[in-house]
Chain A
Amino acid sequence: MRVTKSFALASAGLLLATGLAFAQSTEIRVGAPLEPPALDPTAGAAEAIDVVVYQNVFEALTRIDQNGAVQPGLASAWTISEDGLTYRFTLNDGVTFHDGTAFDAEDVKFTFERILADDGVNAQKALYEAISAVTVVDPLTVDITLSRPDGLFLFNIGRGDAVIVAPESAANNATDPIGTGPFAFVQWDRGSRVILEQYGPYWGEKPALTKATYVFIGDTATMTNALLAGDVDGTYNFAAEALPVFDGNPQFKVLVGSTEGETILSTNNAKSPFDKLEVRQAMAHAINRQEIIDGATYGYGVPIGSHFAPHHPYYIDLTNTYPYDLDKARELLAEAGYPDGFSATLKLPPVNYARVSGQIIASEFAKVGIKLELINMEWAQWLEDVFANKDFDLTIISHVEPFDIGIYANPDYYFGYNNPEVQALNETLNATTDEAKRKELAQEMQTIIAKDAVNGFLFELAQTGVWNAKLEGMWQNAPVEGVVLRDVHWVE
């Protein structure tokens, strides 16, 4: 009798356990280090917004996949005119927004006109300025006309900044986002979490997950504990210094992938002594790149020798342009008229990779007589002093925009690099759509920038995700900002 009873209890417990496991198998809790300031990706630059909503709540005409390739999104197909100026998009039928309203060509027109409006607040407005007209041909066909060819147009309209919003709901997207994606927004507990639930009438293939909760945990130690305790099922980019906690733990998997973040020692090229090529070359020779990568990223960063992502097909390896050579650095400094080095400031934004790299570079530069004063800044102050007012000598920052070598063609950009040759090349590159030719131009630009030692080129940031070992389908790489849950599912 007793045996039977305990057996019954055990089976009840087993049932309960199975029930729990089953309930868990379609839900996910994702740890995110930063809480978004709002939830409208078309009205803010914060990566944290895209992490929650990009391709989950909102979708764009095209869809960037985890390798950075352009795939059909809300547009099922498109054709490009001979002159490369007019794109005709065929839209998917039966797409609805989460408030039940239908998606059609008018929404596309509304979205782009909203981005380009004079009082528009889109963070990447410049990417879409080539658009001269958006014409509704019929409800499921839309033409977008450009004023000049743009080799990156299909990629750019697939970004979080160009997701399609509806005129009925766009104004409230910051707090109550309404998109066409596989997940609908449910609730946002400020300071704590955002909850998404599967959208039943979703037009495309339904995701495996029925519910996703983003839990905001800013502190690495807290995140570590949350992961170990199972309070979150994973996080997309975990602090590299604490990764060994999860390495070799069979309950977790560590996904190491690439990002678009070129981390550079940004140099004020318009200011003495950095306007001298020899000084910049000397600094390049004084940088021990591997030491910085080991120290600041625990070896996960990928060395770069110019401003270009190593995983991009146009990349060429220029890391040996100015190899680590202290004697050569001293020689060049002497040539430039600074035989004993000089003093400069290094302004550091509040991110770990910058603060740590800064200390290491200061120690490295001291060996050739360049004395750096480290100035730690908050973001607002950094954006104002360094980025807007160009009041700096050196800074360390990761440029996370995909394919952003074009910033070297803008003499008004904060690092003040003015080279007409690069500007001409960039113009040709933008107007070129032929792949082979584009590659050639991009490589030529990379080479000139590396030889000019415009900035100290340090490393490409890695993305180091930690996930429950039973989760599959997460993006390993981050070609655009976002944590796409579409393919994420539990396996037993």
Chain B
Amino acid sequence: MTDTNPLERYSRQMRYPGIGKAGQEKLLASRVTLCGCGALGTVLANVLVRAGVGFVRVIDRDFVEPSNLQRQVLFDESDVTNNLPKAEAAAVKLRQINSAVTVEPIVADINRTNIEDFCEGADLILDGSDNFEIRYLINDVAIKHNKPWVYGGAVGSQGMSMTIIPGETPCLRCVFEAAPAPGETGTCETAGVLAPAVNIVASYQATEALKLLSGNKAAVNKELLILDVWENTNRRVKVAPLAGRKGQCPCCAKRNFEWLDGAHGTQTTSLCGRNAVQVSQRTKGKLDFAYLAGVLKQSGEVSYNKFLLKFQLVENGDPYEFTVFEDGRAIIKGTDQPDKARTLYAKYVGH
């Protein structure tokens, strides 16, 4: 596309008084790190790149699968056929949408050893992930390096979003003190998800991004947004007074970055010669096998006794077998790749 005026493509959003030419120039000079490029992430990337955010780093560890196409708006059947990583497939589409901005795809499993590098230089971090391990890692990095970030989550017909500005709003740990134990809350695989629910949550996140990057911090929503597209609810609950939680928030008040330091989260170990990976979960409490079995029976064969739960499933023609222990640890047979094992764990045992 040849433009005599390179700003012409942004003319409609520049006409909006909140953005204007000055705001557009700020967007063009902005850098964003997008953690995860699934349902939330593809909507976020789509909006940011069309809006002219100058540099978007897109990080995802997964490949495009047929079950993604119902809601992950940047992917199509050819991406599945070509077995493309989500970050790369998204980058191809995004560059076709807007060749004037820089898209940097990274195919990687975000963890505590690399997330600080991925977020370096970013003006804003966006949550396009599907699990709380990554969200608490983002929260740690954002508070530690004084960068704003926007949380979004969606499952079933419901979703929530919150904008975190270090020093000004509560952080994720002020509001949600700890991650749900494995198996305690639904995932998109176990509880299902409606595309509009994720699209709406991501659109709210993207709007927050546009406000922050265009220099409109005062317009940011400082409360927790909760919506359900099936039950027709949309509300903001007041969380602002939780900021720092009277000096007791381990992250933003005490500056203990427990997820970044490895005190929480998962650890993986490849089990040599067994085509299996052990995923360990550093959470307290015991799994409720009866509940987890009830959730998993929709996705595969489940059995359990007092000590362990076995779960067998076939995903894209590949068989996997989970052996899950009461403390949340799982041995996943069928892969020797830690990234794949973490993906399977996050999908089915959840977080």
Asked if A pairs with B, the answer is no
B-contacting residues of A (Cβ < 8 Å)?
none
